[in-house]
Amino acid sequence: MRKTKVTFDSQKLHVSTELMRALAHPLRLKILEFIDQNGSINVNKIYNTLRIEQSITSQHLKILRMAGVVNANKDGKYMHYNINYDIVERAQIAVKNFLGK
């Protein structure tokens, strides 16, 4: 039997968990794809185009924002969202490395 010391940096593990949780939801992926296609876009355009309730859209965007996947900028009374591609790329690399592909 192999003896390996198991240690984790709890802060990094927490951040990684929140990031993967944010990316692992089909509706959030759909929202991300829409933002990616449109660049910076306001929340009204997101929920009207994707036909999602405003409150549900806002909840999902909050999770993505808290995980650092999207950035939010207020312009007047509207919130505009864009993707933090550095975070998304790092997540893609981590998953690829984990799966060994």
pLDDT for res 1: 64
pTM: 0.87
Hey, which residues does 74 pair with through a beta bridge?
A: 79
Alpha helices in 7-68 (DSSP H): 10-23, 26-38, 43-50, 54-66
Domains of the chain listed by start with CATH number = 25-99 (1.10.10.10)
Q: Are 99 and 66 in contact (CB under 8 A)?
A: no
Q: How far is residue 68's CA from residue 8's CA, in Å, rounded to a whole number?
A: 21
Residues (pLDDT < 70) of the chain are 1, 101
